[in-house]
Structure 1
Amino acid sequence: MIRPVLRVLRPALLVSALAVALAACGAPQTAPTATPSTANIPAEYQARPDGDITIPAVSPAYLNDHNRRQWVDYNGPERAGTIVVDPYARYLYHVVEPGRAMRFGVAVGKAGKGFKGSATVRRKEQYPSWTPTKNMVRNDPDLYGPLAGGLKGGLDNPLGARALYLYRGGRDTMYRIHGTMDPSSIGRATSAGCIRLFNQDIIDLYDEMDLGTPVKVRTLSESLELEGEMVELHTGYLVPATDTAAIAADQAAWEAGQIVDPAVAEAQSHAAAVAAAEATAAGKTPVPYDPTKSAEEREALLIGAN
């Protein structure tokens, strides 16, 4: 009998400030307000120029062992050159040789678990544009309506710096592997979307991927067999079920009120996403969400920024 891949400790989904996904794989999001010190940031996650755009550094707060790219031994059956996506363990592997792979942490939305099996990268885009579907506009007009005309590519686009488009049998699967504007979402599950990586990670992966690259998306049973059972903490991150120390510490922090109530966080996130969408539609610069400021203070900041 297959066990569930997760034991969820949280009572509800924790969504970061603007992590409500908009596209098949994206969301209008704000970046962290603080610029992280570069002293504690690995070289691969430092700020980097990308043409006329500078990719912001990733805060060390988001670079836990699960999320940070690293070389690992790989025991899956896939051949070298394959991308393997595990939406249940929230990992992406680039198999570079038999038994060896580069592992990336990813954010996964509902759409990220709606596809399984084999596909092929048939399209690659730098700073791709994005347009919400009619269903998305109909289901959440406050959020998606202002952006119904679409967003051009850039750091304020939910698909981030790069996107890989998966095809099967010559047809677009609508499954995407791409960057994100919200590094705090990496390692977590979001309300919608596909597979998101830090922008630094998707840029490097994009450069290594040729059109025709094979992709394997694992099933739940394959994830359990190869990764083991995972537990989702109140913080939204995953740890192996064997990591009892991390599970106990998370539970203690939750009981002590040190972790934001997920229901409150989700409501705040949606409100911030709507405000950002309206600002974008009006040609204004979205202001990073700060829960310590009142709606009036955020409106004043928005006016001052534009």
Structure 2
Amino acid sequence: MPMFTSSYGAVSDAGYSLPRIPIEKVDRKYHRQIVRYDTSEAPGTIIVDTSNKFLYLVQENGKAMRYGIGVGREGFEWRGTARVAMKREWPTWTPPAAMIKRQPELAKHANGMKPGLGNPLGARALYLYNKGGDTGYRLHGTPEWASIGKAMSSGCIRLMNQDIIDLYERTEKGAKVIVL
């Protein structure tokens, strides 16, 4: 099955220069690749396997594009079904009030942190909503490639920037997202 290990080079995107990811330092299992994946879910569905740190984009014929992810640290995990309500390129990041309470130094971003290479949402964000509205959770890029395969976020699912750009292009607004 194809692997996309060569897809992590420097990228020029919307005026930003994303640096090359030293992919040789990332466990091969977390490199973007097409894998066999049997599910009854329709192609286009995103399945997030938090325990194994993989995100699967379901494709035709029992296959999926698999991405390595970073997940919520203990106490910040979540599971359930949502939909991609919005997609944003180079999003503004606004830390939730609860996060500012835990980390008062983030108060300076209460009105939003401008997009850019240091923004925690990275190059793209997919905003997850359910019946109750905005879940507050996102599938987003991260400049912290070394966090892939680890549980250290405040609940969001993070992908390497080159991977979130790929996922963003392949994902339709309204796509179903299942977090296991």
Equivalent runs, 1:11-160 vs 2, <5 Å: 42-110=5-73, 113-114=77-78, 116-141=79-104, 143-160=105-122
Contact 1:129 1:150 in 2 (8 A): yes
Matched residue type, 2:129: Y
Root-mean-square deviation over aligned CA pairs? 1.9
The count of residues paired between Structure 1 and Structure 2 equals 176
TM score, norm. by length of structure 2: 0.89
Percent identity between the two aligned chains? 45
**CA distance 1:112–1:123, shift in 2 (3 Å):** farther
The code of the aligned residue for 1:138 comes to: K
Matched, 1:173 2:146: no
Offset at residue 112 of structure 1 (A):
6.0
43 and 167 in structure 1: CA distance in 2 versus 1, 3 angstrom threshold:
same
One-letter code aligned to 1:102: M
Give distance in 2, aligned partners of 1:135 and 1:215.
24
Conserved in 1, the CA contact under 8 Å of 2:37 and 2:58?
A: yes
The one-letter amino acid of 2:145's match is P
Q: Does the aligned pair in 2 maintain the 1:112–1:175 contact within 8 Å?
A: no
Q: 1:210 aligns with which of 160, 172, 175?
A: 172
Distance 1:56 1:198 in 2: 11
Offset from partner CA, 1:27-58 (integer Å, 9 cap, x none): xxxxxxxxxxxxxx933111111121111111
Q: More strand per residue: 1 or 2? A: 2
Aligned residue identity for 1:56: P
CA distance in structure 1 between the partners assigned to 2:36 and 2:172 by the alignment? 23
Moved more, 76-85 or 90-99: 76-85
**1:186 is the counterpart of 2:145:** no
Whole-Å Cα distance in 1 between the matches of residues 133 and 154 of structure 2? 22
Map Cα deviations across residues 258-287 of structure 1 (whole Å, 9 max, x no partner): xxxxxxxxxxxxxxxxxxxxxxxxxxxxxx
Alpha-carbon distance between aligned partners in 1 of 2:101 and 2:80, rounded to the nearest angstrom: 30
Q: Could you give the per-residue CA deviations for residues 178-199 of structure 1, whole angstroms, max 9, x where no partner exists?
A: 0001111111110523100010
Distance in 1 between the 2:69 and 2:153 partners?
14
Structure 2: runs of 5 or more not aligned? none
| In 2, Cα distance between equivalents of 1:156 and 1:133 | 18
Amino acid at match of 2:101: R
State the one-letter code of the partner of 1:160: G
Decide whether the 8 Å contact of 2:44 with 2:172 is kept in 1: no
The letter for the 1-side match of 2:40 is P
Q: Any idea what SS the aligned residue of 1:156 has?
A: coil
Greater gyration radius? 1
The 1:69–1:42 alpha-carbon spacing in structure 2 relative to 1, beyond 3 Å, is closer
User: Contact 1:47–1:56 (CA<8 Å) still a contact in 2?
Assistant: yes
In the alignment, which of 197, 210, 234 is matched to residue 159 of structure 2?
197
